[in-house]
A and B are shown apart, each in its own frame.
Chain A
Amino acid sequence: MENEGRRRFLGVCVAGATAAAAVAAGYPVFRYLAPRAGQEGAAKLVIPAGELKEGDAKFFEFAGSSAVLIKTKSGELVALSAVCTHLGCIVQWVKEKQQFQCPCHGGQFSTDGTVLGGPPPRPLAKIPLTVTEGNITIG
């Protein structure tokens, strides 16, 4: 009986030491592989208002993802995520139709991000923006 107890105790010790060693080796490897913090890019971006004509769109990187700024024909400025809500492709601006089209599965979005057709389940996410002294601040 005493031997059984010792054997169990040693077993628990060995298992514990092995688990500790696995964590000690696994944690650095996990941290090494994990995406690094602070790599998402600027959370705020300033674009000169003069860069964009009415009816045009400007694609840019924002907070580690793709985004688009459009100036509608009525002069309204809208910033949206350019990532299609269906399967994550980047939507394209169709200037003639003044709408977005996803090249992957034909999803269509209006200038305010609303789904006009195709498989996307949700509208494009809106990004807040402010206009001051001729500069558009996104985010």
Chain B
Amino acid sequence: MLKRLYRWLDLRIGVGEIVEKELTGYLLPRNINEWYSLGSVLLIIFALQVVTGMLLMIYYVPDADKAFKSVTFIMNEVPFGWLIRLCHAVGSNMMVAVLILHMLSTLLMGSYKAPRELNWVTGFTLLALVQGVSLTGYLAPWSQLSFWATTVATNSASAVPVVGPYLVEFLRGGKLVGPPTLGRFFALHAAVLPVVIAAFIGAHLFLLKRTGISAPPFGREGTANPFEAQQYHYQGHPGGIPFFPNYVLQDLTSISIYFAVFLAVVFFWPGMPFTPDAFVPADPFKTPAHIKPEWYFLANYQTLKIFPSELLGLSVQAAAMTFLALLPFIDRSPERHPLKRPIFLTLVIAGILLWIALSVWGHLS
């Protein structure tokens, strides 16, 4: 039956040619490793976020008077509403975590180097957009946690010289976080940012198809970058392993491992995305003690606190982010093997440790 359907489609639209070009004939480096499958895992996570988000919109009411009640209704009354919401809340955390892992593997394997500078830049932009979509979604439940975390997060923009206070007011739609903030954050979260993210994913994949996939810098062959910027050249891998079925199997394995971890959190650690303040409706006149942002913003939060001036804290972060975003244009050495780049490796490890330390400090302070 399936074979007949395949033949029917092949006769009409040449499916066989596409399969040959994009699947069985799409050859990947023989020494490709598991880390390359994180992109596929991220695609699945994004798709799941879109689907669960659409399902939540059926019952969620983006109105300051009704938002908290509608979320409570989803959690307690709607059949499997708790599951859909937990998948969405845990999924958003997972998306940031997997995205960081994906970028770390790209960093350590030197895959950001020429000719893949734009892949890195689009990927880095995607990290910022995913953090943005998480931040805007955080306000949606209109709980004490979401209200005050958004107050703290939007307030940090006030450190920008001259336009800072206006920027905060513009973000919030008023002097304080209130119903207008929910309206604009919901529009950004549910309509604007997902479309922009999808567009950037499309650009990221397009760039991947045009440059060809990078080979890991491990194994017997030379580990230096062979690219020479003289004319456009697709980096193929003759004699490599086919994407289908070989690497699809690896993708499916990684996706299965992801689902095992994701569902374990959903079913056995459902409180992970929430603190007790997440179960209290927003009260603009009562700030809870120890309000903290999400774990992936803790390092930024702590950085702002340790500098004597907010502007300095913000500038240091902006400088660090700009440096990371433009890394492929700064680090131009052809060598990609991490062990043959001791200074780079030391800096990466020190950077990761600093980020973890700041996050833990931010959590405990």
Binding site for B on A (CB under 8 A): 28-29, 31-34, 36
Contacts and interface: CB of A to CB of B under 8 A. Distances in A.
Interface in B65-92: 77-81, 83-84
A33 B84 CA distance: 11
12 contacts: A28-B79, A28-B83, A28-B84, A29-B55, A29-B84, A31-B79, A31-B80, A32-B79, A32-B80, A32-B84, A33-B58, A36-B79
A18 to B, nearest CB: 11
Contacts of A33: 55, 58
A34 B59 CA distance: 12
Contacts, number: 23
Contact of B55 (A32, A34, A36): A32
Contacts of B77: 36
Interface string B33-73: 00000000000000000000001001000000000000000
B80 A28 contact: yes
Chain A binding site: helix, strand, loop or mixed by DSSP? helix
Contacts of A34: 79
Chain B binding site: helix, strand, loop or mixed by DSSP? helix
A28 B80 CA distance: 6
A63 to B, nearest CB: 21
Nearest to B59: A32
B2 to A, nearest CB: 11
B60 to A, nearest CB: 12
Interface in B156-179: none
A29 B80 CA distance: 7
A34 to B, nearest CB: 7
Nearest to A21: B259
Residue in A28, A29, A32, A36 with the greatest tally of chain B CB atoms within 10 Å: A32
Given A28-B79, A31-B79, 19 more contacts: A28-B80, A28-B83, A28-B84, A29-B55, A29-B80, A29-B84, A31-B80, A32-B55, A32-B58, A32-B78, A32-B80, A32-B81, A32-B83, A32-B84, A33-B55, A33-B58, A36-B77, A36-B78, A36-B79
Contacts of A36: 77-79
A71 to B, nearest CB: 39
Residue in A28, A31, A36 with the greatest tally of chain B CB atoms within 10 Å: A28
Contacts of A32: 55, 58, 78-81, 83-84
Nearest to B81: A32
A32 B56 CA distance: 10
Nearest to B58: A33
A38 B79 CA distance: 13
Nearest to A31: B79
Q: Which 10 A-B pairs have the closest CB atoms?
A: A28-B80, A31-B79, A32-B80, A31-B80, A28-B83, A32-B84, A32-B79, A32-B78, A32-B55, A32-B81
Contacts of B83: 28, 32
A29 B55 CA distance: 8
A28 B58 CA distance: 15
A31 B78 CA distance: 8
Contacts of A31: 79-80
A32 B80 CA distance: 6
Contacts of B55: 29, 32-33
A17 to B, nearest CB: 10
A33 B55 CA distance: 8
Contacts of B58: 32-33
